[in-house]
Amino acid sequence: MLSSGKAVKVSIYLSEGATHHGASTYSSILDFLFFRGVSGATVLKGVAGFGADHHMHSANFVEISDHLPMKIEFIETREKIDELLGKLEEMVGSGMIEFQETTIAKPAQVSKSKKAPVSEHVRIEGKAKLMRIYIGESDRWHDQPLHEALLRAMRANDLAGATVYRGILGYGAHRRVHKEKPLHLSHDSSIMLSVIDTEEKLQAFLPLVDQMVQEGLVVLSDVDIIKYSHRAMETGESKE
Amino acid sequence: MKEQFQGRMLRIHFTEDDKWQGEPLYKAIVAKCMELGLGGATVFRGVEGFGASARIYHARSLSISKNAPVMVTVIDTEEQIQKLIPHLDQMIEGGLIASSRVEGIRYTRPE
């Protein structure tokens, strides 16, 4: 965690409508910073501005513009920033990243321990591990469904891919039967997340699972990767 | 509470309209798991598939066809799983059981 003294303040400038792998860039970056253990970050929304393209973007037209400027700010140690920078540059696309030497007069109070950093994305081949997490659909983590939070945490930790399945019938530790109801009035089905990645990556992710899952079952098994490939996706400004 | 164990995972594949003594087979298997005191069982419905009988099933919207592929997963210790297998042998007429070794972590919240 941060202590008083020298630190670096990072400002990231991007457009509100920018997307990264199909999700809005600012929320992807915020997730990334959050799940990589950055001490804090703030997203600010501009009311008007212009960028590299020299187009004036403003909120004059009853919120129809999705090109308003956004700024993400966070303060961290130089080492932490060096560790995150590569991925941030990739995520920010056509946006801008700025550093500023700063001095912390008083660090914020810490209420949670910091997570271990995880390694960068690697290509996986041959032997790998399959992790399945069994939880309930109504389980929550902070203010969101646990399965969505886990998925976001996996994405932020660069796990190769994850799928969420909803069961039609099941029971678990408390022997309460979870049943699928017609028309989805109830949201209490069994949920399974399945992720495949290297043993190393999954082991590095487990402490986060420990924190997030209060009740459930996690199993790891050996798998052979037959094929893992993906199309290149466009990063940066969405063109609409 | 966190508990780690070495276990076994069964994935039992058949179709949604398979029956055991008049009730859907998947319900009967889940009930059997509960009766034997296994830690848990979950049933998933596939959206498309084919099996030994080579029929292709499609999940069409508003289709009233029930013949969807289903999969039941059961995870427990080796010896608990072995208790279930003879029952499955009796109950399953057409289907497939895949079995694999797993490392498990069980999280339980005190009631």
Tens digit of each residue's pLDDT (9 = 90 or more) over A53-97? 777 777 665 555 677 888 999 999 999 999 999 999 999 988 899
Best of A150, A171, A205 to mutate (most B CBs within 10 Å, chain B)? A171
Residues of A in contact with B111 (CB under 8 A): 174
Domain ranges of chain A: 5-104, 126-225
* pLDDT (tens digit per residue) in A196-205: 889 999 999 9
User: Which architecture does CATH list for B2-107?
Assistant: 2-Layer Sandwich (3.30)
| Residues A119, A205 contacting (CB under 8 angstroms) | no
* HSE, side-chain direction, 13 A CA sphere, residue B108: 12
B71 vs chain A: nearest CA distance in angstroms?
9
Residues of A in contact with B75 (CB under 8 A): 134, 217, 219
Is residue B111 helix, strand or coil?
coil
CATH number of A5-104: 3.30.70.120
Give the per-residue pLDDT at A235.
45
Whether residue A119 has pLDDT greater than 50: no
Whether residue B80 has pLDDT greater than 60: yes
Whether residue A1 has pLDDT greater than 50: yes
Residues of B in contact with A175 (CB under 8 A): 34
Q: Which residue of B has its CA nearest to A178?
A: B42
* pLDDT (tens digit per residue) in A226-237: 766 655 544 444
Q: Give this prediction's pTM.
A: 0.66
CATH number of A126-225: 3.30.70.120
Confidence of residue B78 (pLDDT cuts 50, 70, 90): very high
Look over chain A and give the mean of its residue pLDDT values, rounded to a whole number: 81
Give the per-residue pLDDT at A116.
44
In chain B, residues 33-72 whose CB comes closer than 8 Å to chain A: 33-34, 39-45, 70
Give the per-residue pLDDT at A11.
93
* pLDDT (tens digit per residue) in A131-172: 999 998 889 999 899 999 999 999 888 888 888 998 888 888
Give the Cα separation of A101 and A127 in Å (integer): 44
Give the Cα separation of A31 and A150 in Å (integer): 11
A182: left (phi over 0), alpha (psi -120 to 50) or beta: beta
A170 vs chain B: nearest CA distance in angstroms?
4
Name the DSSP letter for residue A19.
E
Give the Cα separation of A10 and A8 in Å (integer): 6
- Across the interface, do A169 and B30 touch by the CB < 8 Å criterion? yes
Cα–Cα nearest to A48, from A73, A67, A62: A67
Residues B35-60 have a mean pLDDT of 75
From residue A101, alpha-carbon distances to A9, A40, A78 in Å are 6, 17, 9
Residues of A in contact with B34 (CB under 8 A): 171, 175
Give the Cα separation of A158 and A122 in Å (integer): 9
Give the Cα separation of A21 and A34 in Å (integer): 18
Contacts of A236 (CB under 8 A, 6+ apart): A18, A19, A20, A25, A92, A93, A94, A95
pLDDT greater at residue A2 or residue B56:
A2
Q: What are the structure tokens assigned to B33, written together? A: 């798991």
Domain ranges of chain B: 2-107
Residues of A in contact with B40 (CB under 8 A): 134, 170-173, 217
pLDDT greater at residue A156 or residue A183:
A156
- Across the interface, do B105 and A174 touch by the CB < 8 Å criterion? no
Give the per-residue pLDDT at A20.
84
Give the per-residue pLDDT at A185.
53
Give the Cα separation of A74 and A9 in Å (integer): 6
Residue B24's CB is within 10 A of a number of other CB atoms, namely 18
Name the DSSP letter for residue A105.
S
- Across the interface, do B102 and A220 touch by the CB < 8 Å criterion? yes
Whether residue A184 has pLDDT greater than 60: no
Whether residue A130 has pLDDT greater than 70: yes
A24 vs chain B: nearest CA distance in angstroms?
29
Residues of A in contact with B44 (CB under 8 A): 165-168, 192
| Residues A200, A118 contacting (CB under 8 angstroms) | no
Look over chain B and give the mean of its residue pLDDT values, rounded to a whole number: 85
Q: How many CB pairs under 8 A join A and B?
A: 85
pLDDT greater at residue A227 or residue A29:
A29
